[in-house]
A and B are shown apart, each in its own frame.
Chain A
Amino acid sequence: MEDAQIIDLFLARSETAISQTAIRYGRYLKTIAGNILPSAEDAEEVLNDVYLAAWDSIPPERPRMLKYYLSRITRNLCFKRIEYLSAEKRSGSAEVLLSELEDCIPDNRKNLEEALEARELGRSLNAFLAGLCREERKLFLSRYYYARTAQQLAEEYGCSPRQIKYRLEKLRGKLKHHLEKEGIPV
């Protein structure tokens, strides 16, 4: 079933919307959740929450691209789950990913009130991505949006995980420089 038809089902409050979403995007969303979360059970649980969140948010939302809308919900719920698991000290690979992102942040203050809002930061990230070549953009998003590991990326790119990590480190350096240039307080 096409996106527009699935969205129409959500809008019409038909529960078929959820099963059709699962058929069309279940595997894709499960991969994202599996990349972020430490266990298949956690991923499975989050996936059910994703469908519920989509049900609760459409309407009033009417996503332009259902696939990426669902991917965002999945990431959000996964990182919420990570927060919970971090408290339990069981978060696994996501902690590594977040510690890498910590490198890019010029401001090490922990006060959220002093930080840019996510939307504003998102705008800045889009500007950063626009300045990258397609290959760099794909690598950056593969790691930091889809949470794929260096090992997975090395297999895809036909190089060593060390080379992937080096390229990611350079990209994080560029991002840090970009955020500083955009006026994020150091």
Chain B
Amino acid sequence: MKATDLSEALNHVDDAYLLEMEAPEKECKPMKNRKKTLRMFAAAALIALLCVTAYAADMLKLSSLETGRCTHYENFADVNRAVAQAGLCLEVPETLGGGFSFRDAEVQEVIGRDENRKKLLTFQELNVYYMDPSGTRLVFGAYANQKGVFQSDRAPDRTETVNGIVLSYRLDHYRFMPADYKLTDEDARWEQQLGNYISYGSEAKEEEDVAFLCWEKDGVSYSIMDPGARVSVNALFSAARELLEK
């Protein structure tokens, strides 16, 4: 190997490191926090989407869901490994309509427990992160359907049918709190409203809207998550149609 090979290899340096060089020091921390928040959204949102059915609550005694181990994949070349790890068989696109390109992916373990914290079920969810040139992110999620165990807790805000598959859109509101945060009366009242969720584990109190577009096909539950609800509803439906038609 020659030094020119190493120099050439530097052309494969992740854009994120080049971008980081341009960010002032003080902006670095919030950038990390945003990424962490995004992952928390993905985890918390998944659990919020997965409301336990009466059957599962009565027969399985399933009382809570939490996220477990998470495996991270930085390169698109590794996505098929991530798909296999999640126990799925699907094709993940490198780009989504609207200028969104693959950033990274992860396989998140979800654990269901009973009242005594005994583990009753585990399954893996695939999350693929996309970003457009303006920095807006979308998360494409998929997991093998847990038939009879989970259900949606409320009616969607909008639906559309594509090739016989129903796409359901909903807009939720999240408050992330530090682990030791004590809910105020206002927080408690806020949480009672439909579509409002509180999740713990952030470094500071954060609040954001999150849009979801969900559908099921061939025993797999899919979703596109739009943290911050920055993408238009029509663009989300368009991205989903694109995925379904591939």
Which residue numbers of A lie inside 8 Å of B, CB to CB? 2-4, 7, 62, 64-68, 71-72, 75-76, 79, 83, 97-102, 104-105, 107, 109-110, 112, 114-116, 118-119, 121-126, 129, 134, 137-138, 141-142, 144-145, 184
CB distance from B177 to the nearest CB of A (A): 28
Which residue numbers of B lie inside 8 Å of A, CB to CB? 1-15, 17-21, 28, 74-75, 95, 99, 101, 131-134
**Bound-state Cα–Cα, A15 to B6, Å:** 34
Taking CB atoms, residues of chain A closer than 8 Å to B17 are 126, 129, 137, 141
**Bound-state Cα–Cα, A83 to B134, Å:** 37
- Whether the Cβ atoms of A125 and B133 lie closer than 8 Å is no
Give the contacting residue for B7; candidates A65, A79, A110, A123; CB below 8 A: A79
- Residue of chain B at shortest CB distance from A75: B11
Taking CB atoms, residues of chain B closer than 8 Å to A65 are 15, 18-19, 133
CB distance from A7 to the nearest CB of B (A): 8
- Whether the Cβ atoms of B12 and A4 lie closer than 8 Å is no
- Residue of chain A at shortest CB distance from B78: A123
- Whether the Cβ atoms of A125 and B9 lie closer than 8 Å is yes
- Residue of chain A at shortest CB distance from B10: A145
Give the contacting residue for B11; candidates A102, A116, A118, A184; CB below 8 A: A118
A-B contact pairs, 12 of them (CB 8 A): A72-B11, A75-B10, A98-B4, A114-B1, A121-B9, A122-B9, A122-B10, A123-B12, A124-B9, A126-B17, A134-B20, A184-B1
Main secondary structure of the interface of B (DSSP, over half): helix
3 A-B pairs closest in CB distance: A122-B12, A115-B1, A121-B9
- Whether the Cβ atoms of B3 and A71 lie closer than 8 Å is no
Give the contacting residue for A112; candidates B5, B6, B21, B95; CB below 8 A: B5
**Bound-state Cα–Cα, A65 to B20, Å:** 13
Give the contacting residue for A118; candidates B9, B14, B75, B95; CB below 8 A: B9
- Whether the Cβ atoms of A98 and B21 lie closer than 8 Å is no
**Bound-state Cα–Cα, A102 to B2, Å:** 7
Taking CB atoms, residues of chain B closer than 8 Å to A100 are 3
CB distance from A58 to the nearest CB of B (A): 13
**Bound-state Cα–Cα, A121 to B9, Å:** 6
Give the contacting residue for B6; candidates A64, A101, A142; CB below 8 A: A101
